[in-house]
Amino acid sequence: MYFFLSMLATSETVYTLVIIPRMLASLITPNQPISLPGCTTQMFFFVTLAINNCFLLTVMGYDRYVAICNPLRYTVIMSKRACIQLMCAAFGIGLAMAAIQVTSIFTLPFCHRVVGHFFCDILPVMKLSCIDTTVNEIINFVVSLFVILVPMGLVFISYVLIISTILKIASAEGRKKTFATCASHLTVVIIHYGCASIAYLKPKSDNSVEQDLLLSVTYTIITPLLNPVVYSLRNKEVKDALHRAVGRNIS
């Protein structure tokens, strides 16, 4: 779990670095231009890392499933080699999907030059095209379905099996402690997939600039900011250290 947490933290750090510095520069100096190669690069890394995060959360759900449902075989199933292979698979899917989406968008002819967003997201850039983008919208929707619904489905199956195993535990205290090991991951999954589903699976007619900007701020800034807090506050050592620090300040 800590291996995957470190990978998720690294991925989300780079993910925010792709967007936030440029966003802050645009806030300080409005109407600052971005080159076409710069926009392409930003979108490629954003999509790669966003999809990588989706599948890393799925892998972490599988890790919890193995730890709770097959505890005696955990070290065999989740070996170092298996962990690295799962991490590489998540990153590989991100790279492949990003290549498909970025290629389909940046082969379009662009007539407009102003992106109505604070970074080069898929739909705002697509709106700059001179021609009909129905095919590109279908590609984007199919990719979004795959990278959101498939991980969500796998996580759901993992938690159905986890909950069925937890309910077989005789003591209430045992059930509580076992479920507590999943609470942080489940919280992050709900926030992450919830925002992604609303942003990329909602009907086109429901799109508005204000809603898109608000959702983008949520899943590019707020969610990565909340994840370390959620996981840290579930850690007993971190909570004890926080209590000591707060107590010292009060006294």
pLDDT at 29: 79
Give the DSSP per-residue string, the chain: -HHHHHHHHHHHHHHHHHHHHHHHHHHHSTT----HHHHHHHHHHHHHHHHHHHHHHHHHHHHHHHHHHSGGGHHHHT-HHHHHHHHHHHHHHHHHHHHHHHHHHHTS-B-----SSSS--HHHHHTTBSS--HHHHHHHHHHHHHHHHHHHHHHHHHHHHHHHHHTT-SSHHHHHHHHHHHHHHHHHHHHHHHHHHHHHHS-GGG--HHHHHHHHHIIIIIHHHHHHHHHHHT-HHHHHHHHHHHHHHH-
- From first to last of its 251 residues, what are the pLDDT tens digits of the chain? 778 888 888 888 898 889 888 888 877 877 778 888 988 999 999 999 999 999 999 999 999 999 988 888 999 999 999 999 999 999 999 999 999 999 999 998 988 888 877 888 888 898 888 888 889 888 888 998 899 889 999 999 999 999 888 888 888 888 888 777 787 788 888 888 887 887 777 766 555 667 777 777 777 887 788 777 777 766 666 667 767 777 665 44
- Please, is 238 exposed, middle or buried when counting C-beta atoms within 10 Å of its C-beta (0-12, 13-18, 19+)? middle
pLDDT at 235: 63
CB neighbour list of residue 8: distance below 8 Å, 6 or more residues apart: 53, 56, 57, 60, 227
pLDDT at 208: 64
Q: What's domain 1-236's architecture?
A: Up-down Bundle (1.20)
CB-CB contact of 136 with 181 (8 Å): no
pLDDT one-digit tens code per residue, 147-203: 988 999 999 999 999 988 888 888 888 888 877 778 778 888 888 888 788 777 776
pLDDT at 111: 86
- ∠ CA 143-222-25, nearest 5°, is 90
pLDDT at 250: 47
pLDDT at 237: 64
